[in-house]
Homo-oligomer: A and B are copies of this chain.
């Protein structure tokens, strides 16, 4: 009850944008606090007034633009990352280069050609092979669910374009994405196995707008590679209606190219620990983006949030015990940068205390998920009180995922935490031309930084051993 009162009081203070430096008025419980508490609360309150994350997000999207692996924008972003770390006082700045074949979109289009001509809103999937120069024109077969495609017999799509029109469900935690995304990631090869000559998928999107949503796809070994694209949500619904009335023909043209010799970079900077600098907390976002928007929510904001939080800690007169390393991963969208990161740090993984990536936009965080076994650790006793003014619960469930770019080090034994953001709006915009700066809410962005800075400080200035607690 007292905790609830504290939360309520502090919540009102947050609404008024004038948080008390430490919420310990006379009517509130005089709870004994951990040594980290005062600094964590002060950092949180400072983060709510700080516009570093916004400035970084604004600069990356406005001064640099899109950052697809292999593009001039990505090369500019690499220099931007180094300069940003330098300007903000990070040290031990590293640019880790790794090979990454790049995929470049060419001219592309799709049209209904029968029963009448109609230009579809479409976008090629990342990694798709091109069509022949004259395009592919064929009758379509529509599958209202991905399972319907999997149930189609071998050979049943011979010479056809397969179209999967399954919708994506809107959920707070974004779970709809993996449920729907399989149709984008694996659909092309499943269609090709059954004889299809091309593949179209309703955009993996919670919106009802025509702007199509791209994303990576991959081809299964030993199956013909067929061109694959996403279409707008209303386009998918029109095709469903037309297909119910009679035969529909579609023409698809795609002219993508691949550069097998391209490279990408993971760039990192450190806030070096004051007493146990060899113990490193790995956080960050991904610097690369799709090519059709300016990559604001995916993932300039993640770069902004994590860099700003670490910088606030770096500005303290005393650094925390452990090192905080911000990594700007360089190829999340094009097949991952976490594998290269794991490979380059394999000899040092035991020193990585914990890892987490901010990669779900800039809307509010609603839950902190800690590594398995650690939620009741005495070092974390203050976390609920520290998070309450931000309207963030400390979940009883452990973090199962730290982010796409921390998957490989997680698999190699590095614990992860997760500051879970509202995904209610994210998949309206994700991977579409509408991933632009105006979609970032500066107030919610600050709430993110405040949450990150609290968690980072508490972990970094503790001796907590997540690996031991997980046993």
Contact = CB atoms under 8 A, between A and B. Distances in A.
A234 B118 contact: no
Contact of A234 (B64, B66, B438): B438
A242 B433 contact: no
Given A66-B118, A211-B211, A238 B73 contact: no
Nearest to A242: B62
Interface residues on A, range: 35 or more
A238 B62 contact: yes
A437 B62 contact: no
A137 interface: no
Contacts of A298: none
Contacts of A232: 433
The interface centre, meaning the residue of A72, A76, A210, A238 with most chain B CB atoms within 10 A of its CB, is: A210
A62 B241 contact: yes
A238 B117 CA distance: 34
A234 B65 contact: no
A288 interface: no
B438 A116 contact: no
A208 interface: yes
A436 B242 contact: no
A437 B72 CA distance: 40
Interface string A82-106: 0000000000000000000000000
Nearest to A428: B209
Nearest to A294: B238
B436 A210 contact: yes
B116 A434 contact: no
Nearest to A209: B434
Nearest to A238: B62
Contacts of A208: 438-439
Contacts of A437: 234, 237-238, 241
Interface string A269-299: 0000000000000000000000001100000
A208 B232 CA distance: 18
Interface in A204-261: 208-211, 232-234, 237-238, 241-242, 245
A58 interface: yes
Contacts of A76: 116
A236 to B, nearest CB: 10
The interface centre, meaning the residue of A63, A233, A234, A245 with most chain B CB atoms within 10 A of its CB, is: A234
A65 B113 CA distance: 12
A390 interface: no
A66 B210 CA distance: 15
Nearest to A62: B241
Interface in A405-463: 433-434, 436-439
Contacts of A241: 58, 62, 437
A75 to B, nearest CB: 11
A120 to B, nearest CB: 10
Given A76-B116, A210-B211, A238-B294, 7 more contacts: A63-B245, A72-B116, A209-B209, A210-B434, A234-B436, A234-B439, A238-B437
Interface of A: 58, 61-66, 72-73, 76, 115-118, 121, 208-211, 232-234, 237-238, 241-242, 245, 293-294, 433-434, 436-439
5 contacts: A76-B116, A209-B211, A210-B436, A232-B433, A234-B437
